[in-house]
Structure 1
Amino acid sequence: MKKLIALILPVVFATAVFAQERTQRTPEERATMQTEHMTKELSLNADQQKKVQDINLDAAKKMDALRASSKGDRDAMMTGMKQISDEKDVALKAVLDEKQYSSYSAMKQERMNKMKENRKDSKPAEKPTQN
C-alpha cells in the first residue's frame, strides 16, 4: 500500500503543477502555432506561409488589445472579436486559393462547433424554481 501511494503521489503533484503553469501565450507564439497548423492542414507554400503568419500575428495583437480595452464588457468584446475575425477571413481569402479557403472555413466551423459543445457541457445545471 505504501508503495502504491509513493507511486501515485508524485503523479498527482506533477499534474497539479502542470495545470497551474498554463499561461497565456504571446501574440507571436499564438500566430506561429496557428500558421504551423494551417501550413500542415492547407499545404501552404512559402509565400502563403509568410503572408498567413503576418495576418495571424496582426489578428492576435488586435485580440490582445481588445481584451485589455474591453475591461469586462462582454458584448463589446464579442463584437470586436467578430470584427477582427471577419477582417482576418477577408485577408486570408486573398492569400489562399479556393480549395484552401474552403478547407480553412470548414476547420473554423468545426472549431466553433467544438467550442459550443464544450460551453454547453460546462454550464451549471439550472436551479429548480421554488413555488
Structure 2
Amino acid sequence: MKKKIIIAFFISIVTLGAFAQNPNSDKTPEERASFQTEWMTENLTLFEEQVPKIDSLNLVYAKKMEALKEIQGRFNQLREAKKIAGEKEDELKQILTKDQFKIYQDKKSELREKMKEMSEENR
C-alpha cells in the first residue's frame, strides 16, 4: 500500500517518466487531485486557508495532465508535462510558505529516487 501511495503521488508531481508510466491512469483527474491535496495537507502541514487553494490548483493541473493523453508522441507528451509541472510549481510557491515549499521539493526528490530504484529493480 505504501508503495502505491508513493507511486501515485510521484506520478502526479514529477514530470518526465511519470506521465508516460502512470499506473493510476484509470483514476479520474478529480481522484488524483484529491489524493494530492490529502497528501500535501498531511505532509506539508497546510494551513486551513491553504487547503481549498491547493485543492483547486491540484484539480486544474490534474486536468491539464489528463489532456496530455491526446498529444501524439511520447516526447511531445513529456515535454508538455514538464512545462505543466513547472507552471504548477510556480503557482505552489505563491500558496505555500517557504518552509512548506522546501519540504515539498525535498519529498519530491526522495520520491524521484525511490522511483528510480524501483525502476532499476524491475529491469
Global fold match (TM > 0.5): yes
| Identical positions, percent | 39
Give ranges in structure 1 of 5+ residues lacking alignment.
1-21, 124-131
Give ranges in structure 2 of 5+ residues lacking alignment.
1-23
Greater relative contact order structure (CA < 8 Å, 6+ sep): 2
Relative to the length of structure 2, the TM-score reads 0.76
Runs of 4+ in 1 over 2 A off after TM superposition: none
- Give the greater-gyration-radius structure (CA): 1
Deviations 1:10-30 (A, max 9, x none): xxxxxxxxxxxx871111111
> What is the distance in 1 between the residues matched to 2:84 and 2:41?
21
RMSD value, Cα: 1.4
> What is the distance in 2 between the residues matched to 1:77 and 1:117?
23
Relative to the length of structure 1, the TM-score reads 0.71
What SS does the aligned partner of 1:46 have?
A: coil
Counterpart of 2:112 in structure 1 is 112
> What is the distance in 1 between the residues matched to 2:77 and 2:118?
20
> What is the distance in 2 between the residues matched to 1:62 and 1:23?
14
